[in-house]
Amino acid sequence: MTTQTMPPLPRPGARRQVIRMGLPGLAGVVEFADARPVAAALRGILNGWPLALSRRGPAAPAIATVTGRAAGFHVRSPFLERALRNLPLASAVNAVAADLLEAWCVAHPDHVCLHAGGAILGGRAVAFLGGPRAGKSTLLARLTLATGVRVLADDVLPVSPTGAAMGLGLPPRLRLPLPGAASPAFRAHVAAVAGPGDGRYAYLAAATVAPHGTRAPLAAVVLLDRRPGAGAALHELAEAEALHELAARRILPAPAEAGRLDRIAAVAGRVRPLRLVYDDLEAAAALVVGAFGAAGGEVAIGPPLPVAAAAVAAADALVPPDPGRRWRRGGAVAIRRRGGEAFLWSAEAGGLVGLNHTARAVWDLLARPATGAGIARVLADAFPDADGARIAADVGALLASFAAAGLIGPAGGPSPP
């Protein structure tokens, strides 16, 4: 695993070393200035991308610009509201990888790009949807160990107009340490194929990650529903709920696309929507392979779960924190634009949370360390006609989602994961 955290310092008076990386099909280049380690690490995880490297040539629009400094790497891109500064190597690689995925979606507006994972089993693709801590990346990482499986993505999954899911050639990015119940075989696999990382996250550059451009017909969409103590089981997912989940996870290429459901409805109409309820990673992976793999047998599919029960389980997964706990922003968090929407995004943790007016207000109030109770009081003073208990509950839920996505951490404690 690559763990370098500081760029090499240029010699006094030396000219800046600039490398430009072009990628066919993308309108722009990635520019690395005194940032050779980032370029090298990125080349090591881009599977099947036909890269073109040069030191000279006409300036081109920048998909991202990485600059090496004494304290770390700075990353700027048109997708970020502000530059990310002083990033360690692993976070800089993650920031540029996210920009490449974003640029691909912008350059291919005919595809529906989903914030989802995907894998090919038995010649057909399966998409995996899930919120923070649903285990999407961990499950996709575990599937890189499964026989007969090719992993397409763990973050961005494009779907073509004809209904084919496509891999963009980036491996899953795994949260570390592994769950305590992870099998010895999976632990050995991670140790053998881990790529750029920082001890808390690592790319899993396994041979079973599909190269850029790999396609397969999308046959199923699986919503991950992680519940403590639950046995692994597949359930039918109501069509309306599947449509809602897909629409909520679409990466919009332009503001004009906002509100359009025809393309999402076309995707939903071609696939079988399912819910995977689970707790144990190994049991979930075995069930997925058994249900969709070429050698799999018949797997029982349960009836749809009541929406109320599913909503309660999802709410229970994010417990509001102590209102007296002080929080601070993560150092590598910026606002990322996707079409006409804004999201908080962490270059370290990769977490993504949508920004509505309330979420933006809470984030602004976290410019300095603050407690949930203090934030709720400020908002209650600003909106005296609103119910104070409702404001406090909303603030608690937002702080829980920010913490789960790695966007904030306890003030005075270690950096957010």
Q: What is the mean pLDDT of each run of 10 residues along the chain (417 residues)?
A: 44 67 86 94 92 71 92 93 92 94 90 94 95 87 95 95 95 89 93 89 94 96 92 92 86 57 86 95 95 79 74 53 88 77 82 83 92 93 89 90 87 56
Q: Give 240-261 pLDDT, tens digit per residue.
A: 888 888 888 888 655 555 445 7
Predicted confidence at residue 203, as pLDDT, reads 94
Q: What is the pLDDT of residues 130-189, one digit of tens each?
A: 877 788 999 999 999 999 999 999 999 999 999 999 999 999 999 888 888 889 999 999
DSSP state of 304: P
- According to the model, what pLDDT value does residue 356 have? 84
Which fold is adopted by the domain 326-410?
Answer: Outer Surface Protein A; domain 3 (3.90.930)
Which of 287, 341, 318 minimizes the C-alpha distance to 398?
Answer: 318
The structure tokens listed for 324 are 């007296």
User: Is the torsion defined by CA of 130, 278, 313, 321 positive or negative?
Assistant: negative
DSSP conformation class of 301: E
pTM exceeds 0.85: no
**Residue 294's pLDDT is what?**
77
Report how far residue 412's alpha carbon sits from residue 325's, in angstroms, rounded to the nearest whole number. 11
pLDDT value of position 24: 79
CA atoms of 73 and 42, how far apart (whole Å): 14
Distances (CA, A) of 144 to 154, 204, 288, 302, 341: 11, 8, 13, 27, 32
**Tokens at residue 59, please?**
């300036």
pLDDT of the residue at 4: 41
Distance of alpha carbon 344 from alpha carbon 91, whole angstroms: 15
Domain ranges (residues) in the chain? 18-107, 112-316, 326-410
